[in-house]
Every structure is written in structure tokens, then in C-alpha cells.
Amino acid sequence: MRSIILLIFLILLPTTTGADLGEDEVIHHYFQGLIDVGHESLQNLTYNRRGEIISVEVFNVTESLERNNIDHKLLEVSPSFKTFLESLNNVVINYNRMIDHRNVKDPQNFSIFKTSLNNVLENVVILERSLDEIEGISLKDDRGNTLRFNTSEIREDLDKILKNINRYSEKLEHIGPGKGFFIYVDRDTVYLNSKVKVYGYINYGHNLPSIILLHNNRPYVVEVRNNSFSKDLYIRTLGNHTIYGISPFGPSNKVTVRCVRIPTYIEVYPRGNLTAYLGEEINVDIQLYDYYGNTLENKTLYITYLDREYSYKTPLKLKLKLNHIYVNSSLPLDITFRGDNNYSPSKNKVYIKILKIPTYITAEYDGSSIHGTLYDFRGNLLDNKRVYLTVGNNTYSTTTENGSFRFNVSKFREGYILFKGDERYAPSSRELKYEGIIGGWSSDGYIPLLSVFTFLLLLTILELYRKRYKQIERRVEENRNPGDDTKLNILPRFYRLIDRGMFREAVILAYQLFIRSLNIKKSYTPREICRMFKGIPGIRVITEIFERTYYGDIPPTKRDIGEWERFLRRREDR
């Protein structure tokens, strides 16, 4: 379920250039961004700075698609990128280890450095092979143009890394290993039921065929080749695990691996804060996942709601309903998994906002009286509600009967009808003029049900003018001065979404409009745009926030919103 939702998110991603992107363009945009992030990580290595591990969730999507026999373009693209990501991360991990153990005069550092160097070489070969496959992927934009992935920068990084590796290999040959018996592990902290890889080096001037490796005093016979060995050990109990080796010439050093419980996280669907109208049921799906994305079933969740705590088993489907006491309140829904012997605890919190039911007024003037109806957004007629008519300085009132009302008025020219609302229903109004009646929507929200005829008429008009509007918009975009934010009203539109609690949407829309103001005529990735316009103060920060929100589906924090507000204000005050 979680992966399918992420898939929908990917396919419906908004554009950064203001144009409508097709499915292939969205996929190209996403994975080109992944290549750019990989370039930045490898570029750090070329300067002998530690690289960053890249983590993405899109490959969980393809696995879910395959399990459900769903055909999609992602299935063609993602295998090469999955290999790309795994090999790139392995290069980063091992190169980071080389940086940490660069003092190769120490025999243990020598062993770690040499093993890591060989691992880098192996994974560079795999990475280059995946780049060949990626360059062969062919995607099309909506105009039929071929979209290719740009791997030139990352290939330059690999060339520099290989030159460094060759230089280090030559130095290692001149230094030579010292004598001794050393072991080390690829990770000193692991999750329960995972594995660690133990590497070792032994040199006492004799060729040993094997050594004994002890894991919490359990022995394993490990073959030795060229004075080196490795062994995968599975960690199946919590706590500290002691690992060391023994040989006829003496023991090795001891290493300790700490095993901790598997992390968990709670997902609530729909995502974000919840909004419902009074009397409506709120349907909430709650899922518990482990670190690897597996659904955890039959686990106990504790939910605090209206100052009471309830316990449920996963997976969970809740139906919530609130009365008028809580109208316009944001009530927290605290969800807690307290953990168990295998899984660590986790928490999530969402807020529920209950709104008054929107209302709508229809009215007609027939020359002697005004008659109309009052109903809610579902079309239910509202009985026994007070309705007011204001004409000039005079105000009249009446009470609805089965949703209908009537005012006897002669020589009417203009005025308005008002329903002030009550504890259950939101207010609404309707402006009246002699020529006809102009509607006012309910203050709380949904557009009420329009007549089918009106809807079809509007749809037809919009369809007729759609192409013409796009042509005009294109010409306007071409003539717009780069950096003209004021015409796009970015800041007011940003504030409107923030006021409605739509923080994620505010960040995405603000970025779209900002990019449109730059008058970019080609679809660039956010990283490329950031480099092109690096002279704009704050662009790197807002780009990072956008990427977390846009690609990672991570809600922006208050600090993120503040950074965006400062950025937009600076742009407006120029």
C-alpha cells in the first residue's frame, strides 16, 4: 500500500518549469536528480572528503508493482538505477573507510585500507556497467523528443577516483604489510537479524590455510588466502557481540558489534493533517512498518484521542466522528508503538480539524417576491434556519420550511440574503440584483454541487479556450523579464496555502512559480537550476527544502517554511 501511494506520488509530481510533463518526463526528471546527487557524493571523494550514502524509496515501488503484476514504465527504468545506487553506495562506503584508515604504516590500517581499495575497484566496474545501461534508456517527452540521461559528470568523478586508486595501489606495494593478526567489521552497530562482514589479515611469515573465528565463543573455521580472509556472521540476539580470531601463533584483536532492535515507523493515510465536516466520519488507515519496509501485523498500537487511550492491533482502520463541541479545533491523534523484543518503539501524531458544514443559498426574484432554498454541500435542505434579507438600510428575516424561504418585496433592485450559520452549519450569502442573482459560497469550503448543465457548459468553454490560452501563456512567458516574481504573486499565494495548513503544497507551488519567473525554457533538474543561478541568495537552501518535500515526500518543518518566507520576501523587496 505504501509503495503504491509513492508510485502515484511520482506519477503526479508537479513540474518545476510550469509546463505539463508527461509520464516519461517525470521519470526522467526524478532519476536525473538521482544521478546528480550521486555526482555530488562522488565528487567529495575525489577531494578526499567523505561521501554521503544515498537513500531513496522508489525501488520499493517497483517491487510492489512486480508483486501485483502491474505494468509500468518504472519497471523498465529502475533495475539499472537500482544497480547504480547499490554500487555507488558501496564505492562511497569503502572509500570513506579508506579515508578513515589512511595511516597505512599501522598494520591494521594497512589491512583495512587494502581490502576497502579492492572493494572500491570491484564496485566501480559494476557502477560503470550500470551507467552504460542507463545511457541506453530511451524516454520521450510529450512532443516525441528523446530524453537521455546525462552521466558525464559522474563518469568524470569515476575517472578521478580510479586515478587515485591506482596511485594508492602503487604506494601499498612499496610499503608492504606488517606482521600480525588483525580483524575488523564493516559495521559496528547492526539491527537484529542482519549480518556483518568480518575482514581479517594474518601474517607471521608462514602460510596458514585457515584460522578460527569466534563469535561469542562460537567457533568458525575460515579459509585464508594471500594472508587475508572474510566471513559473514549473522547477528540474531540483542546486545554486544564479541568477535576475534585465534591461530597457532596467537589471537587477533577483539572487536565488538552492538546489536539493536529493528527501527519502526508509523504511517497514517491519508497523509498530513485530517479535515472533516461536522457529522462526517473520518476514515483513517494506520500501518506499522519496520526499517526494511515490511508491514508489521498483529502489533499493538496505543492511540490517545480526546484524553483517552485505546489499544488496537495492526493493521488498523479507524472511523472517527466528532460533535459540534470540537468545531474549528485541531485535535491531536497520538499514535504509539511501544516496541517489543525485536522492534524499537515509534510514534506519530496527526491533527484532526472539524469544520462547520458548508451551506449554499439559491434565490430568484419574480417581480413581487424573492423565494429560494438553503441547503448544505451535500444537497440536504436545511429546515427551521433563520435567513436575512438586506435591502438598502432595511433588514428582514424569515425561517426556512423544508429548506425553502420567501420574502415579499416589490420594486426590488439590489440587496443580499444572509444565513449567519449556527453551531453546526457555516454561514453563507447570496447577492441579488435586478438583472439576476450572484452567488456567494459558504465560508468553510467545498464548492457545492452545481447543476449538471452549468458544469457541462463551463467544461465546454474551458475546452474551447484551453489551447488558445496555452498559446497566449507561452508568448507571455517568452516576453517576461527573468526574475519577475511580483507578476506571479508568489508570496500571497504562498501565504494562502500556509494559512490553510497546506505546507507541502505551499513549498511545491512556490518553487514552481519561482522557477517560472526565471524564464527557463528547458526542463532542468533542481540541482542544475541551483548551479545555474547560484548567485541568487538562499537558492541552495530552498532547493534542498524543495527536494526533501518533492522527492522524499517529507513534510516541511516550521524552519523550512521560515526559510522559504525569508527567501520570497527578499525576492519581493528587490
CA-closest candidate to residue 544, choices 519, 521, 567, 572: 567
pLDDT in tens, the chain (574 residues): 333 333 433 433 433 333 344 567 777 877 888 888 889 889 988 888 888 888 765 444 445 444 444 445 666 777 888 888 889 999 999 999 888 888 777 777 887 888 888 889 999 999 999 899 888 887 877 777 888 889 999 999 999 999 888 888 877 776 666 677 888 888 888 999 999 999 888 877 778 899 999 999 999 999 998 888 899 999 999 999 999 999 988 898 899 999 999 999 888 877 666 777 887 788 888 989 888 778 899 999 999 988 889 999 998 888 887 766 667 777 888 999 999 999 999 998 888 888 888 889 988 888 788 889 999 888 889 999 999 998 888 888 999 999 999 988 877 778 889 999 888 888 998 888 765 444 443 433 334 434 434 444 445 544 544 544 444 344 334 333 444 444 567 887 887 778 777 788 888 888 888 888 887 755 567 777 887 888 888 888 888 888 777 766 677 887 888 888 888 888 876 6
What is the second-level CATH architecture of the domain 180-260?
A: Sandwich (2.60)
Cell 541568495 sits at which residue?
537
Burial class (CB in 10 A: 0-12, 13-18, 19+), 419: buried
- What's the N-to-C CA distance of the chain in angstroms? 46
Q: Which residue has the cell 508503538?
A: 337
| Residue 307 DSSP code | T
Instruction: Give Cβ neighbours of residue 395 (< 8 Å, ≥ 6 apart).
Output: 388, 389
For 305, the 3-state DSSP assignment is strand
Question: What distances in angstroms separate CA 365 from CA 51, 361, 409, one per listed residue?
Answer: 73, 13, 9
- Residue 327: the pLDDT is 74
pTM of the complete model: 0.53
Predicted pLDDT of residue 455: 43
Query: How many Cβ atoms are within 10 Å of 388's Cβ, its own excluded?
Result: 16
3-state secondary structure 348-414: EEEEEEEECECEEEEEEECCCEEEEEEEECCCCECCCCEEEEEECCEEEEEECECCEEEEECCCCCE
Q: Where are the domains of the chain?
A: 2-175, 180-260, 273-355, 359-443, 480-572
- In terms of phi and psi (left: phi > 0; alpha: psi -120 to 50; beta: otherwise), the region of 205 is left
Name which of 496, 520, 522, 518 is nearest 509 in CA terms: 496
Q: Per CATH, the architecture of 273-355 is what?
A: Sandwich (2.60)
Q: Look at residue 240 in the predicted model and tell me its pLDDT.
A: 95
Partners of 254 in beta bridges: none
The reply to whether 180-260 and 273-355 are identical in fold is yes
Q: Which CATH class is domain 359-443?
A: mainly beta
Angle at 279 (CA atoms; ends 277, 283), nearest 5 degrees: 75
Question: With contact defined as beta carbons under 8 Å apart, do 143 and 84 qualify?
Answer: no
- Residue indicated by cell numbers 514552481: 512
d(CA 137, CA 79): 11
Amino acid 365: pLDDT: 82
Write down the pLDDT at residue 566: 83
